[in-house]
Copies of this chain bind each other. A is one copy, B any other.
Protein backbone atom coordinates (compact mmCIF):
# COMPACT_ATOMS: atom_id res chain seq x y z
CA UNK A 1 0.00 0.00 0.00
CA UNK A 2 1.24 3.51 -0.62
CA UNK A 3 1.60 6.02 2.17
CA UNK A 4 2.60 3.35 4.64
CA UNK A 5 5.87 5.03 5.56
CA UNK A 6 6.45 8.60 6.70
CA UNK A 7 8.44 9.27 3.54
CA UNK A 8 5.68 8.10 1.25
CA UNK A 9 3.13 10.13 3.10
CA UNK A 10 5.29 13.23 2.81
CA UNK A 11 5.53 12.62 -0.90
CA UNK A 12 1.78 12.49 -1.16
CA UNK A 13 1.32 15.74 0.69
CA UNK A 14 3.91 17.46 -1.45
CA UNK A 15 2.28 16.17 -4.59
CA UNK A 16 -1.20 17.22 -3.50
CA UNK A 17 -0.03 20.66 -2.39
CA UNK A 18 1.73 21.13 -5.70
CA UNK A 19 -1.41 20.35 -7.65
CA UNK A 20 -3.43 22.60 -5.41
CA UNK A 21 -1.25 25.68 -5.81
CA UNK A 22 -0.94 24.82 -9.49
CA UNK A 23 -4.64 24.86 -10.20
CA UNK A 24 -5.05 27.83 -7.92
CA UNK A 25 -2.73 29.74 -10.21
CA UNK A 26 0.15 30.10 -7.78
CA UNK A 27 2.49 27.71 -9.52
CA UNK A 28 3.26 24.12 -8.68
CA UNK A 29 6.60 24.58 -6.99
CA UNK A 30 5.23 27.07 -4.48
CA UNK A 31 3.12 24.41 -2.83
CA UNK A 32 5.78 21.78 -3.25
CA UNK A 33 8.54 23.84 -1.65
CA UNK A 34 6.54 24.96 1.35
CA UNK A 35 5.14 21.50 1.98
CA UNK A 36 8.52 19.86 1.68
CA UNK A 37 10.02 22.20 4.24
CA UNK A 38 6.95 22.10 6.46
CA UNK A 39 7.21 18.34 6.69
CA UNK A 40 10.99 18.30 7.17
CA UNK A 41 12.39 17.99 10.65
CA UNK A 42 15.62 19.76 9.70
CA UNK A 43 16.01 23.12 8.01
CA UNK A 44 16.44 22.76 4.26
CA UNK A 45 18.86 24.38 1.84
CA UNK A 46 18.22 25.36 -1.76
CA UNK A 47 20.26 22.38 -2.72
CA UNK A 48 18.04 20.09 -0.69
CA UNK A 49 15.06 21.50 -2.55
CA UNK A 50 16.46 21.03 -6.01
CA UNK A 51 17.38 17.46 -5.13
CA UNK A 52 14.19 16.49 -3.34
CA UNK A 53 11.77 18.12 -5.75
CA UNK A 54 13.67 18.03 -9.01
CA UNK A 55 13.39 21.76 -9.58
CA UNK A 56 15.99 24.22 -10.80
CA UNK A 57 18.15 26.28 -8.50
CA UNK A 58 16.69 29.49 -9.90
CA UNK A 59 13.18 28.34 -9.20
CA UNK A 60 14.06 27.36 -5.66
CA UNK A 61 15.71 30.69 -5.01
CA UNK A 62 12.78 32.77 -6.22
CA UNK A 63 10.09 30.74 -4.52
CA UNK A 64 11.91 30.68 -1.22
CA UNK A 65 12.24 34.44 -1.28
CA UNK A 66 8.54 34.86 -1.93
CA UNK A 67 7.58 32.46 0.84
CA UNK A 68 9.95 34.26 3.17
CA UNK A 69 8.31 37.59 2.37
CA UNK A 70 4.94 36.14 3.22
CA UNK A 71 6.31 34.92 6.55
CA UNK A 72 5.90 31.29 5.58
CA UNK A 73 9.58 30.48 5.86
CA UNK A 74 12.35 31.70 8.13
CA UNK A 75 16.05 31.68 7.40
CA UNK A 76 18.08 29.67 9.86
CA UNK A 77 21.81 29.88 10.32
CA UNK A 78 23.70 26.69 10.93
CA UNK A 79 27.19 27.22 12.23
CA UNK A 80 29.96 26.09 9.97
CA UNK A 81 27.64 26.04 6.98
CA UNK A 82 27.81 28.46 4.07
CA UNK A 83 24.39 27.62 2.71
CA UNK A 84 21.17 29.29 3.71
CA UNK A 85 18.75 27.01 5.50
CA UNK A 86 15.03 27.49 5.86
CA UNK A 87 12.37 26.22 8.18
CA UNK A 88 8.60 26.54 7.91
CA UNK A 89 6.36 28.57 10.19
CA UNK A 90 2.84 27.52 11.04
CA UNK A 91 0.81 30.68 11.61
CA UNK A 92 -1.20 29.96 8.47
CA UNK A 93 -3.64 32.78 9.01
CA UNK A 94 -0.97 35.44 8.94
CA UNK A 95 0.68 33.83 5.94
CA UNK A 96 -2.54 33.62 3.98
CA UNK A 97 -3.36 37.17 4.87
CA UNK A 98 -0.10 38.56 3.59
CA UNK A 99 -0.20 36.42 0.47
CA UNK A 100 -3.72 37.51 -0.42
CA UNK A 101 -2.89 41.11 0.28
CA UNK A 102 -0.03 41.01 -2.14
CA UNK A 103 -1.65 38.86 -4.81
CA UNK A 104 -5.08 40.42 -5.02
CA UNK A 105 -4.53 43.69 -3.19
CA UNK A 106 -2.21 45.02 -5.85
CA UNK A 107 -4.53 44.03 -8.61
CA UNK A 108 -7.51 45.90 -7.26
CA UNK A 109 -5.76 49.22 -7.09
CA UNK A 110 -6.39 50.04 -10.73
CA UNK A 111 -10.08 49.33 -10.33
CA UNK A 112 -10.26 51.31 -7.12
CA UNK A 113 -8.66 54.31 -8.70
CA UNK A 114 -11.05 54.06 -11.61
CA UNK A 115 -14.04 53.97 -9.27
CA UNK A 116 -12.95 57.09 -7.45
CA UNK A 117 -12.27 58.92 -10.66
CA UNK A 118 -15.56 57.82 -12.13
CA UNK A 119 -17.43 59.16 -9.15
CA UNK A 120 -15.80 62.56 -9.48
CA UNK A 121 -16.43 62.76 -13.19
CA UNK A 122 -20.05 61.78 -12.79
CA UNK A 123 -20.67 64.50 -10.25
CA UNK A 124 -19.12 66.92 -12.69
CA UNK A 125 -21.37 65.69 -15.46
CA UNK A 126 -24.47 65.93 -13.34
CA UNK A 127 -23.56 69.45 -12.33
CA UNK A 128 -23.10 70.43 -15.96
CA UNK A 129 -26.63 69.18 -16.54
CA UNK A 130 -26.09 68.62 -20.22
CA UNK A 131 -27.27 65.69 -22.28
CA UNK A 132 -26.79 62.00 -21.45
CA UNK A 133 -28.45 62.57 -18.11
CA UNK A 134 -30.25 59.25 -18.05
CA UNK A 135 -27.07 57.38 -18.88
CA UNK A 136 -25.10 59.22 -16.24
CA UNK A 137 -27.58 58.54 -13.49
CA UNK A 138 -27.74 54.87 -14.43
CA UNK A 139 -23.96 54.64 -14.31
CA UNK A 140 -23.95 56.45 -11.04
CA UNK A 141 -26.35 54.05 -9.40
CA UNK A 142 -24.37 51.04 -10.55
CA UNK A 143 -21.04 52.48 -9.52
CA UNK A 144 -22.54 53.33 -6.17
CA UNK A 145 -23.44 49.70 -5.53
CA UNK A 146 -19.94 48.56 -6.33
CA UNK A 147 -18.40 51.13 -4.04
CA UNK A 148 -20.72 50.16 -1.23
CA UNK A 149 -19.67 46.55 -1.61
CA UNK A 150 -16.02 47.51 -1.71
CA UNK A 151 -16.51 49.36 1.54
CA UNK A 152 -18.07 46.38 3.28
CA UNK A 153 -15.38 44.05 2.01
CA UNK A 154 -12.68 46.40 3.20
CA UNK A 155 -14.20 46.65 6.66
CA UNK A 156 -14.48 42.90 6.87
CA UNK A 157 -10.85 42.52 5.84
CA UNK A 158 -9.76 44.99 8.49
CA UNK A 159 -11.95 43.48 11.16
CA UNK A 160 -10.48 41.67 14.10
CA UNK A 161 -12.68 38.66 13.58
CA UNK A 162 -10.64 37.39 10.71
CA UNK A 163 -7.47 37.89 12.67
CA UNK A 164 -8.80 36.03 15.67
CA UNK A 165 -10.35 33.10 13.88
CA UNK A 166 -7.51 32.57 11.47
CA UNK A 167 -4.93 32.83 14.26
**What is A's interface to B at a CB cutoff of 8 Å?**
3-6, 9-10, 12-13, 16-17, 19-20, 23-25, 38-39, 41, 90, 92-93, 104, 107-108, 110-111, 114, 117-118, 121-122, 132, 135-136, 138-139, 142, 145-146, 149, 152-153, 155-156, 159, 161-162, 165-167
Q: Which residue of B lies closest to A10 (CB)?
A: B139
Of the residues B20, B92, B138, B149, contact of A108 by C-beta under 8 Å: B20
Contact check, B132 vs A20: say whether CB atoms are below 8 A apart: no
Cα(A122)–Cα(B38), bound, Å: 17
- Closest chain-B Cβ to A14's Cβ sits at a distance in Å of 11
Of the residues B6, B13, B114, B132, contact of A136 by C-beta under 8 Å: B6
Of the residues B23, B24, B121, B142, contact of A39 by C-beta under 8 Å: B142
Knowing A167-B149, A167-B152 touch, does A16 contact B110 (C-beta < 8 A)?
yes
